[in-house]
Amino acid sequence: MKITNVNSVYNELRRNIPEIYKIVSRIRNGDVSAFTPPSAFVGEYNYPKIHVGMLVSPERNSIVHDSPKYWVQNNYDVSRIFSLRSTIVNASKAVSVQDIHNPITEKISFSILSKEEVDVSMKLASVGAPKANFSEFRPNAVSATLDSLDINDNFKIDKPVEKVYYDSDLKADEGIKFLYENNVDENKISKMLSLGTMGVKRKLVPTKWSITAVDQSVGEKFLDRIRLYEKGDDYIVKSGSFLGNLFTIVFMKGCWSFELLETWNRDANNVMMGKGDYEFYWGRKSYVDNTAGAYYAIRLAVLEELEEMKKQYSVLVVREITPEYFAPLGVWVVREGARKTLQSQQHGFSSLDEAINAAKKRILFPQGLESRSKLIKSYNNQTRLTDLSN
């Protein structure tokens, strides 16, 4: 995902330079005592030869560097989260995705099962400060090559996590659903999948892929039930904002379908109406083309809401990215943003036209909404056919 505001990224990096170089100086000698939230990152570049890294901080309370739920609960803004992401160390090693029994990989994999932060000792080389890659930007941690790793703690593992880790006959998809049903949050589930700690044929999975796999898998679990629920017979509009992302969600009466439209508002004179992605009643046969992991993350939040309602609807989501969200912080932002929006006050309407008009008043750039949306077009066509048949 490209950045929204290049100047803001440079300014944030400059603001964090003292802390970044303080960390670099502390770990430059190579022998490091540190703490992991626990967290790890598996890259996708050069797949199937990739880098697997443990994310660590020289200071205790490292969990604050990788805890989306904590950030949400404490109302952290984009700048604060960007700083936390930029001041953590990614100590990585090049391995094959099949190389889960490499001593370093095994220790990283085992550590991420921990319920709390883990005390580790590491030998590092090639320490470097964060760099901004503007073609596919993410706040990059301080980087280092991981030569050796030791775990100093006898840490605790929650029972559901322990069950999935040790059950080598449990398929990864079943493990994901089991963990979700036992209130293990998506952040940990995706890391477990990424580090090859679940499933029958285990391997490393790039972090970006594992996050979407979890959202998609849990979403399918809900869909099996939601398709059997009574169809909603009204129209509902909800709207909200989170970290510079604006969400407008329209529930249209009828059977399940879903669509996500995105608009990029880089500044007043630079607005891009992105192509959306959608699915009808029986879902998609292929991965989405335009909205990537955001599609499955927002869809999961919507499906959670429908499960709570015990109804099925056709749901249109419009996500608008404003200059406040100057750099992407992860797919968790849209998942939590959609969840927050779905908890907001709902407005009911008796017709689709009323609902769409109300939604357009909440959308910053509503131009051409009806022509952009496959769901609205399909809904109107179905209505006309119904009228003709009566």
**Peptide bond just before 58 cis, omega within 30 deg:** no
pLDDT-derived band at 42 (thresholds 50, 70, 90) equals very high
Lowest mean pLDDT among 36-45, 188-197, 229-238, 264-273: 264-273
Looking at residue 151, what is its pLDDT?
96
Looking at residue 138, what is its pLDDT?
55
Q: Please answer whether residues 200 and 229 qualify as being in contact, where contact means their C-beta atoms are separated by less than 8 angstroms.
A: no
Q: What is the pLDDT of residues 106-163, one digit of tens each?
A: 999 999 999 999 999 999 999 987 765 554 455 567 999 999 999 998 889 999 999 9
Looking at residue 357, what is its pLDDT?
97
Looking at residue 247, what is its pLDDT?
98
Rg of the Cα atoms in the chain: 22
pLDDT at 385 over 60: no
Distance CA 15, CA 6 (A): 14
pTM of the predicted protein model? 0.93
Q: What is the pLDDT of residues 317-367, one digit of tens each?
A: 999 999 899 888 999 999 999 999 999 999 999 999 999 999 999 999 999
Looking at residue 338, what is its pLDDT?
98
Smallest Cα–Cα separation from 148: which of 184, 183, 117, 107?
107
